[in-house]
């Protein structure tokens, strides 16, 4: 059966109709099953951010991690952002999982006590809950004692009004310490739950979250299999209870293994982090982090991400799920776009929102997620990531789109797997929590059995108006930025701030101008330079024995696309296997005068740049392909490999060998997971016969622009670059970041007003060049005093335009 693109086929897969035809031809899917695909397909309607059926991993940013010795653990280092340090809080644990602090500030941890076993509990009920007091606050547990025992597979603990709740594999237990000796001897079953019962033993680690403000308890029960239709309706769900255990009901479904649960500190909404199924290869499905909402369906076992259907050409999945039903289609059509997607097979564990202030302000209300795996996917894994997004997880409102997401993720702790090319690792991040002082705690439950404490340097500063995020190559770089110390230290002398601008051919040590004890200015004029790539502008902070740094990454964009082939070979030819190239033919051409003819019999074609090229500043590899008379064989393949040893990105699903005309393909460079400049690009495939390539080029990124706020003509299709971006976070409870962009040099004012029109503070009043700017408002007025809870207006004015946005400060 053949279905051409002209038929406008829609189907419940992430894949094209070309792919369906290939699956029908090569996998032998029956007509009956194919008709089910088409009959119950959810229409691929356009969405504001990206359409259903597509996968977009969340944009990743760099926190500039540095190797940091683990205090108390000889010979081990972890990678953390500048100014952070990590301590071994205790190694007197055995498969420590999730944690909670009691009312006295004593850390308690679920201790499975499996004596090295990865997946099975010890015989009997040997597991415990351990207490780890740190009375002197030095970051090391003073002692470790058993606070509760007689558990089978405990994973999650929580406290409510002095009562300890433990989520075991078979029940939620409620325990009290009536004699106040630290041991919780009074015990009762709060709720029974599915445990180790036959095939239902696949996901039996349960997570427990108390919503104290609304009097609710949330409890996750994982699926009993990798992918199947569950007979128990409470499997793969989050249950909701009243605080007293009554009112048990299914709150949300389609959650295969959402171990990480926490409440957002601003909205109070439940969020989760979920594990995907196993058999779709190293990249799929991506893991997700998103709000968990009442009555919603989250995909499993039918789909994942944003309405991307499971690959039912996998026979085990077909047998477990088919036939599909109209109800299945309705469920998938109801899936919301996740707040964040990260690479597959990382096994997200603990999810914890940071609601303290010991860390720098950029981490306010950020989510930390622990990932316990990595060797089965293409991301090294075994790490903690930070997620920065709006409180509701849906994105922010801009002119370009109503719900464009501004979510970003970043590696926050790495190093448990020191060599990403080696499958060995020395620890597995699992549980996360913070204490009242704002220190972050992390458990590891394999190889290194430990609890770690992470803390930030007390010396902290922030850009009030950072340099631009992007500039075109050779553009002037005018720096006039203010850095403000967040909380200067008392006693050890004055703080010293110096800038290292060597990345943009500036001085390595330029002293900043001191305005007062907390305010410093960086002012100089440089050039972005001729080469694209990331340029780190570094501010070093020193005071007494404390030192840290603030880093701003400037991405220099190339002025034009980088051509590999355009009428001739512009990159060198490297490895050539199973193919003959003719770059001079003129009969079949996409653009220009000549195209590259390839006579192939299973091929490898390598392109080598004249010099390594930084991937930053380019968005995609573009190529035009004409299939000629080439055939793909029984299992056709066509892929792109960067730098020879990186993962292959499959392109065959974007190609229709039966469509005898030019087809344009763009491959997102993010899919290549580049960790160094591009030194080689290889096309590898199984095609046999003659086909053609043309217009092969790296696509240069363009600075984002937006129309002006006034005097915009509808017929003018060229956007202008003046814009005030929504502040982030919003609402906020101590500080917020305000971004804006300018298309031309001139006088700029950025001011805060209250709703009565009274000016609260002037943040910017000076001449600035074109570019992208961000600064932080700390919720204070001109006199430096904190302002009250309420709505405030931020006003950006240039010589030609004005924009105003609302901000909500909550305290």
Q: For residue range 680-721, what is the model confidence (pLDDT) as tens digits? A: 999 999 999 999 999 999 999 987 543 333 223 333 322 346
Find the mean pLDDT for residues 496-516: 96
CB 116 within 8 A of CB 75: no
- 566 upstream amide cis, omega within 30 of 0: no
Among 668, 700, 732, residue at a domain's last position: 700
Comparing 447 with 399, the larger pLDDT belongs to 447
What is the rounded distance in angstroms from the CA atom of residue 152 to the CA atom of residue 169? 7
Q: What is the CATH number of the domain that holds 631?
A: 2.60.120.260
Is residue 308 in a domain? no
The pair of structure tokens assigned to 485 is: 């110390």
Closest CA to 775 of 725, 708, 809, 731: 725
Q: Are residues 450 and 375 in the same domain?
A: yes
pLDDT at 643 over 60: yes
What is the rounded distance in angstroms from the CA atom of residue 374 to the CA atom of residue 379? 6
Q: Are residues 482 and 500 in the same domain?
A: yes
What is the average pLDDT value for the chain, to the nearest integer?
A: 87
Is residue 788 in a domain? yes
Q: What is the CATH number of the domain that holds 279?
A: 2.120.10.30
Among 390, 422, 456, residue at a domain's last position: 456
Rounded to two decimals, the pTM is: 0.80
Q: Are residues 115 and 145 in the same domain?
A: yes
Backbone dihedral angles phi then psi of residue 315, each to the nearest 5 degrees? -60, -40
Distances in Å between the Cα of 123 and the Cα atoms of 112, 117, 150, 158 are: 11, 11, 11, 25
Most confident of 34-38, 44-48, 744-748: 744-748
pLDDT tens-digit map of 40-79: 333 333 333 678 888 888 989 999 999 999 999 999 999 9
Q: What is the CATH number of the domain that holds 470?
A: 2.60.40.10
Is residue 649 in a domain? yes
Give SS3 for 198. Answer: helix
Distances in Å between the Cα of 643 and the Cα atoms of 57, 242, 609, 680 are: 22, 55, 11, 5
Report the share of the chain in percent with pLDDT over 70.
88
pLDDT tens-digit map of 278-333: 999 888 999 999 999 999 999 999 999 999 999 998 999 999 999 999 999 999 99
pLDDT at 357 over 90: yes
Most confident of 116-125, 435-444, 614-623: 435-444
Closest CA to 341 of 306, 299, 392: 306
Q: Give the model's pLDDT for residue 727.
A: 80
Give 3-state DSSP helix, strand, coil % of the chain, rounded to 5: 5, 45, 50
Report the share of the chain in percent with pLDDT over 90.
67
Find tokens 């306010």 and name the residue.
Answer: 364
Q: Are residues 653 and 710 in the same domain?
A: no
Is residue 531 in a domain? yes
Find the mean pLDDT for residues 452-474: 93
Is residue 41 in a domain? no
Q: What is the CATH number of the domain that holds 807?
A: 2.60.40.1930
pLDDT at 535 over 50: yes
Is residue 319 in a domain? no
Burial class for 468, CB neighbours closer than 10 Å (0-12, 13-18, 19+): buried
CB 688 within 8 A of CB 768: no
Q: Are residues 783 and 686 in the same domain?
A: no
Across 41-55, 181-195, 636-650, least confident range? 41-55
Among 456, 480, 498, residue at a domain's last position: 456
Q: Are residues 115 and 135 in the same domain?
A: yes
- Looking at the DSSP bridge assignments, the partners of residue 496 are 542
DSSP 8-state symbol, 135:
T
The pair of structure tokens assigned to 656 is: 């229709």
Q: Are residues 678 and 742 in the same domain?
A: no
Q: Are residues 138 and 266 in the same domain?
A: yes
pLDDT tens-digit map of 408-433: 999 999 999 999 888 899 999 999 99
Q: Are residues 158 and 234 in the same domain?
A: yes
What is the rounded distance in angstroms from the CA atom of residue 658 to the CA atom of residue 15? 17
Closest CA to 453 of 464, 461, 443, 462: 443
Q: Are residues 543 and 579 in the same domain?
A: no
Q: Are residues 258 and 217 in the same domain?
A: yes
What is the rounded distance in angstroms from the CA atom of residue 730 to the CA atom of residue 135? 37
Instruction: Please give the residue range of the domain that contains residue 680.
Output: 562-700
Torsion of CA 115, 116, 122, 127, to 10 degrees: 60
What is the rounded distance in angstroms from the CA atom of residue 15 to the CA atom of residue 27? 15
Q: Give the model's pLDDT for residue 201.
A: 54
What is the rounded distance in angstroms from the CA atom of residue 535 to the CA atom of residue 553? 6
Beta strands in 357-414 (DSSP E): 367-371, 383-388, 408-413
pLDDT confidence tier of residue 675, bands split at 50, 70 and 90: confident
Is residue 17 in a domain? no
Q: Are residues 93 and 241 in the same domain?
A: yes
User: What total number of domains does the chain contain?
Assistant: 4
pLDDT at 25 over 50: no
Find tokens 């990260």 and name the residue.
Answer: 342
Is residue 52 in a domain? no
DSSP 8-state symbol, 336:
P
């Amino acid at each position: 059966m053949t279905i051409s693109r002209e038929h406008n086929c829609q189907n419940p897969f992430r894949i094209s109709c070309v792919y369906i035809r290939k699956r029908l031809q090569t996998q032998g899917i029956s007509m009956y099953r194919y008709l089910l695909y088409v009959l119950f397909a959810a229409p691929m309607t356009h969405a504001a951010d990206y359409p259903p059926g597509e996968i977009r991993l969340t944009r990743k940013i760099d926190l500039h991690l540095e190797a940091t010795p683990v205090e108390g653990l000889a010979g081990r280092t972890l990678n953390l952002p500048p100014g952070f340090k990590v301590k071994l809080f205790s190694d007197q644990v055995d498969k420590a999982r999730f944690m909670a602090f009691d009312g006295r500030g004593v850390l308690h941890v679920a201790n499975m006590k499996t004596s090295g076993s990865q997946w099975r509990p010890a015989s009997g009920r040997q597991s415990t809950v351990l207490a780890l007091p740190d009375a002197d606050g030095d970051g090391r547990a003073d002692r470790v004692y058993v606070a509760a025992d007689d558990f089978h597979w405990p994973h999650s603990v929580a406290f409510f009004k002095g009562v300890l709740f433990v989520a075991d594999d078979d029940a939620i237990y409620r325990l009290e310490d009536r004699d106040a000796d630290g041991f919780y001897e009074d015990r009762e079953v709060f709720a029974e739950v599915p445990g180790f019962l036959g095939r239902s033993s696949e996901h039996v680690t349960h997570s427990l979250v108390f919503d104290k403000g609304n009097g609710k308890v949330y409890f996750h029960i994982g699926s009993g299999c990798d992918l199947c239709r569950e007979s128990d309706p409470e499997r793969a769900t989050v249950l909701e209870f009243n605080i007293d255990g009554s009112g048990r009901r299914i709150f949300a479904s389609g959650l295969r293994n959402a171990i990480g649960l926490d409440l957002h500190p601003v909205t109070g909404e439940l969020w989760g982090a979920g594990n995907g199924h196993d058999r779709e290869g190293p990249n799929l499905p991506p893991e997700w982090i998103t709000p968990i909402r009442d009555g919603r369906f989250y995909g499993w076992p039918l789909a994942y991400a944003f309405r991307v259907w499971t690959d039912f050409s996998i026979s085990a999945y077909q047998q477990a799920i088919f036939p599909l039903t109209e109800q299945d289609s309705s469920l998938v059509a109801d899936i919301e776009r996740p707040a964040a997607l990260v690479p597959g097979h990382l096994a997200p564990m603990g999810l914890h929102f940071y609601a303290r202030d010991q860390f720098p302000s950029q981490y306010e209300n950020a989510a930390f997620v622990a990932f316990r795996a990595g060797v089965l996917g293409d991301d090294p894994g075994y790490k903690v990531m930070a997620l920065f997004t709006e409180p509701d997880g849906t994105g922010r409102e801009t002119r370009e789109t109503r719900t464009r997401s501004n979510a970003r993720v970043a590696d926050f702790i790495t190093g448990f797997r020191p060599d990403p090319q080696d499958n060995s690792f020395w620890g597995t991040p699992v549980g996360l929590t913070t204490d009242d002082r704002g220190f972050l705690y992390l458990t590891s439950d394999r190889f290194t059995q430990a609890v770690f404490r992470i803390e930030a340097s007390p010396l902290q500063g922030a850009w009030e108006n950072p340099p631009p995020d992007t500039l075109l190559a050779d553009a002037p770089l005018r720096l006039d930025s203010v850095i403000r110390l967040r909380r200067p230290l008392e006693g050890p002398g004055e703080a010293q701030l110096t800038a290292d601008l060597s990345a943009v051919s500036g001085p390595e040590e330029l002293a900043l101008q001191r305005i007062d004890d907390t305010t410093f200015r960086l002012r100089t004029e440089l050039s972005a330079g001729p080469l694209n790539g990331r340029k780190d502008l570094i501010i070093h902070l020193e005071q007494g024995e404390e030192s840290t740094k603030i880093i701003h990454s400037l991405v220099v964009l190339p002025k034009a696309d980088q051509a590999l082939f355009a009428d001739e070979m512009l990159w060198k030819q490297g490895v050539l296997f199973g193919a003959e190239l003719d770059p001079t033919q003129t009969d079949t051409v996409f653009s220009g005068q000549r195209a590259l003819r390839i006579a192939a019999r299973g091929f490898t074609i390598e392109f080598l740049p004249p010099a390594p090229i930084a991937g930053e500043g380019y968005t995609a590899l573009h190529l035009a392909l004409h299939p000629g008379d080439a055939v793909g064989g029984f299992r056709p393949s066509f892929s792109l490999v960067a730098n020879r040893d990186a993962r292959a990105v499959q392109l065959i699903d974007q190609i229709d060998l039966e469509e005898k005309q030019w087809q344009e393909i763009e491959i997102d460079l993010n899919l290549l997971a580049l960790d160094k400049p591009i030194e080689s690009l290889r096309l590898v495939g199984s095609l046999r016969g003659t086909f053609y390539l043309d217009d092969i080029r790296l696509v240069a990124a363009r600075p984002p622009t937006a129309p002006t706020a006034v005097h915009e003509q509808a017929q003018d299709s060229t956007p202008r670059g003046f814009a005030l971006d929504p502040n982030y976070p919003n609402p906020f409870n101590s500080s917020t970041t305000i971004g804006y962009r300018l298309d031309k040099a001139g006088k700029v004012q950025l001011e805060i007003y209250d709703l009565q029109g009274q000016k609260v503070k002037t943040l910017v009043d000076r001449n600035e060049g074109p570019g992208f700017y961000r600064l932080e408002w700390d919720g204070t007025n001109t006199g430096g005093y904190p302002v009250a809870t309420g709505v405030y207006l931020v006003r950006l004015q240039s010589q030609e335009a004005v924009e105003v946005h609302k901000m909500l400060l909550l305290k």
